[in-house]
């Protein structure tokens, strides 16, 4: 248990400082959400129907920022070899890495998500649903993105490869999350979309560490 706690503290510190952590992710998130509306104009009536979709697209793109460094730095300096030989299993190590990534980047982005969505014209009464869905979706982004980061270990253009692998997998949570909020805004039943988002994220948490561990072992062999 002490080994897991020590590993978690290490990964949280690295996730906070790796690539700037939330200090880089939050401005990037705000920039994307600010630039995208220029394509449709600044009219509130035009922005309001697509506010949730824009905020979710910005959230997905921002989640890619620090994925390249999730395993690559440890692979380059030999720390990944030591982690593979340590007491916690490789599956547990990958789980803790992604959990720390979510806490350092996904949680701050979830806090910012209602502000971004409300600034784009979303209804104020939706802020709690926007925050909850962004927090849940960010969890899925962190663990699904971890698979892409593990598969890209040792590649020269890791960031591009991760984006190619991960972006198609980010489509379902973006659809589920944006649909749930849009239906809530229209007074329709939003629970099904939110349930699908939760199922996606929980499945990512349960299955992704095994895929990451296998990719890491392959890179180290």
Q: What is the pLDDT of residue 172?
A: 92
DSSP state of 50: G
Long-range contacts of 84-89 (CB under 8 A, 24+ apart): 84/216, 84/217, 84/220, 86/3, 86/7, 87/3, 88/3, 88/4, 88/7, 89/213
Tens digits of residue pLDDT in 21-74: 777 888 888 887 777 777 766 666 666 667 777 778 888 888 888 788 888 888
Tens digits of residue pLDDT in 94-147: 999 999 989 988 888 889 888 888 777 778 888 888 899 999 999 999 999 999
Q: What is the pLDDT of residue 42?
A: 60
Long-range contacts of 48-53 (CB under 8 A, 24+ apart): 48/120, 48/121, 48/122, 49/182, 50/120, 51/117, 51/120, 51/121, 51/122, 52/117, 52/122, 52/126, 52/130, 52/177, 52/178, 52/181, 52/182, 52/185, 53/174, 53/178, 53/182
Tens digits of residue pLDDT in 171-202: 999 999 888 988 888 888 889 999 999 999 99
Asked if residues 138 and 108 have their Cβ atoms less than 8 Å apart, the reply is no
Summary mean pLDDT of the chain: 84
Q: What is the pLDDT of residue 46?
A: 66
Tens digits of residue pLDDT in 73-87: 888 888 888 888 877
* Predicted model pTM: 0.88
Q: What is the pLDDT of residue 210?
A: 95
């Amino acid at each position: 248990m002490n080994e897991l706690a020590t590993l978690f503290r290490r990964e949280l510190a690295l996730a906070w400082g790796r690539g700037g952590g939330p200090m880089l992710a939050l401005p990037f998130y705000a920039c994307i959400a600010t630039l995208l509306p220029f394509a449709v104009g600044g009219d509130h009536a035009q922005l309001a129907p697509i506010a949730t979709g824009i905020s979710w697209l910005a959230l997905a793109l921002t989640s890619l920022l620090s994925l390249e460094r999730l395993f690559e730095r440890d692979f380059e300096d030999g720390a990944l070899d030591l982690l593979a030989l340590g007491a916690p299993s490789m599956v547990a190590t990958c789980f803790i890495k992604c959990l720390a990534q979510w806490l350092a980047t996904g949680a701050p982005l979830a806090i910012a998500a209602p502000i971004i969505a409300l600034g784009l014209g979303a209804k104020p009464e939706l802020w709690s649903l926007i925050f909850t869905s962004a927090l849940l979706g960010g969890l899925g982004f962190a663990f699904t993105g971890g698979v892409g980061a593990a598969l890209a270990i040792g590649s020269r253009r890791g960031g591009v490869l991760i984006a190619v692998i991960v972006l198609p997998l980010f489509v379902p949570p973006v659809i589920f999350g944006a649909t749930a909020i849009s239906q809530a805004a229209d007074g329709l039943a939003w629970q099904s979309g939110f349930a699908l988002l939760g199922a996606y994220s929980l499945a990512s948490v349960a299955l992704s560490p095994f895929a990451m561990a296998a990719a890491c072992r392959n890179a180290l062999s």
